[in-house]
Chains A and B, each alone.
Chain A
Amino acid sequence: MNRQKIEELIELVEKSDIAELEVHFFGGRKIVIRKNTPGGNDTYLMNAPPTHVQPNAPIPQPIPVPTHQETEKSATSTEQSETDNTSKFTEIKAPMVGTFYRKPSPDSPPYVNIGEHITVGQVICLIEAMKLFNEVKSEVSGTIKNILLEDASPVEFGQIIFLVELD
C-alpha cells in the first residue's frame, strides 16, 4: 500500500461516522487509523507481517507513516492538535533479526508490560537467532506506551518494538 492509498483511507475515515478503521493485509501487516477526537489521538500502528525471517532479502520498504504534521494536515486540517502524544514517544528498535520474546520462558511473566516504567539497562525482551538468546536492554528510562509485536513473532533488524514515553 502506498502513501496515496493511506491518505485516501484517512480521508475516508475523516468523512465517515466511524471513529477507527483497522485494515489487515495479507501477511499480517495492519494499519489502524483513529479519528482525532477529544481526548484521543490520530494513531498509526503497523505490525510486521508474521512471515518467516529472511534477513538477506531486501528489507521491505515500510509503509510511509504520516508524520505528526502530515496527520494533522490530512485528517484534522482545521484544528491544531495539541493532544497527539505519539510523536513524543521514543522508539526502541530491534538490534538484530530473529524471534522476539516478551518473556524469559513460556511460564514466566513478561519482562515489561504497557504502562510499566523501565530504566536504563533493564532487560525488556529477548531476541533469538540460531538458538542464541540475546537479552535486549533498554537504553532509556521511561514508561512503556505500546508494544508493537506479539510474543514469539519474527522481528527484523531495526523494526520498532516498543514506544516509550521518556521520563
Chain B
Amino acid sequence: MATKSIEINLPDFIGKVFSYSEIDSTQVEAKRKIAQKCPVPFLIIAKSQTGGLGRFRRKWYSPTGGIYFTLTTKPVNNPAISLVVGIALVEILKTIIPERKFILKWPNDILADNEKIAGILAENFNNALLIGIGINTFENGKFNSIPCDENSRNEILLKFFKKLDFYFDKFDQKGFPYFLNKYIELTIPIGAEIEIFAPNEKITGFFSGITDDGRLILECDNKKIKFSNGEVSLRIG
C-alpha cells in the first residue's frame, strides 16, 4: 500500500503533491487520480515503483534510490513539448552532476556516458497532460545510473520544476523554435551515424538536425527524411 513519504517544497505551479514510498506506477496512479476527478495540476512522486512503465508498458526498473514521478498539468497538443521536457531535465542534470557526459537522444531519452539513465513518457489523457519521468540515481552508482544522494535528488527535482515552469511559459509564447538551438547543443552531433527504428522499418543514415517543430532529420542516400516517430540508436564505433 502506498504511504506518504517524501517531503519537499516544490513550486506552486505543480499543484498538490502526492508522495509515496512505493507505488505500482506513478503514471498509472496519475490516471487513477484523474479518473477520481482530482483537480489538475498535481504531482505523483514515489521512492520506488513495483510496476514502473516505459513506452508501451515496457518495464522501467524502479528500485529505491531512483527518482520517479508524474507531473499532471493542462493538456498540450504540440508534441514538441516532449523534447522541451528533455531539454529542461538534461540541463539540470548537467549542472548537478558535471562529471558525467549527458546527451539528449531524440526525442527525449537521456544518456549519461552513452547509457540511458532517464526516460520521459508524455500522454494526453482525459484532458490532462501526464509527464512521467524515471531517473536512475543511486548513491553507490550501481546499474546504469547517476550516483547521487537524497539531497542531490531533491535538488534535481526543485531545479527541474523551476526550469520547467519557465520553459512551459516560453513554449506557450514562442513554441519549439525558441528551443531549437538548445536542443541541437544537447543532442548527438550533426553528422553522427544513427539507425532509426520507425514503424515498419529500420533506416540507417546520418543525423542531419531537427526541424523547428521538433522532428528528426536523417540523411540517407543524399535524401533528407523527417521523422515524427521512431527510436534512435547511435552507431558508436
| A interface, CB within 8 angstroms of B | 50-57, 96-99, 105-107, 128-135, 152-154
Apart from A131-B121, A154-B229, what are 20 other A-B pairs with CB-CB below 8 Å?
Answer: A52-B201, A52-B227, A53-B228, A54-B225, A54-B226, A54-B227, A55-B226, A55-B228, A96-B79, A99-B199, A130-B83, A132-B81, A132-B122, A133-B124, A134-B79, A134-B123, A134-B124, A135-B124, A152-B200, A154-B199
Q: Please state if B228 and A97 are interface contacts (CB–CB under 8 Å).
A: yes
Let me know if B134 is at the binding interface, CB within 8 A. no
Complex CA distance for A92 and B203, rounded to whole angstroms:
31
Contact sample, A vs B, 20 pairs, CB 8 Å cutoff: A52-B198, A52-B199, A52-B201, A52-B203, A52-B225, A53-B229, A56-B211, A57-B226, A97-B228, A98-B79, A98-B228, A98-B229, A128-B229, A130-B79, A130-B82, A130-B107, A131-B122, A132-B124, A133-B122, A134-B123
Q: Pick the contact of A131 from B77, B82, B201 — CB < 8 Å?
A: B82
Interface string of B208-237 (1 = CB under 8 A from A): 000100110000000001111110000000
| Chief secondary structure at chain A's binding surface | loop
- Residues on A with C-beta less than 8 A from B125 are 135
A153 vs B214: C-alpha distance in the bound complex, in angstroms? 20
B residues apposed to A, CB below 8 Å: 55-57, 76-77, 79-83, 107-108, 120-126, 196, 198-201, 203, 211, 214-215, 225-230
Contacts of A128 in B (CB 8 A): 229
Q: Name the residue of chain B whose CB is nearest to the CB of A129.
A: B79
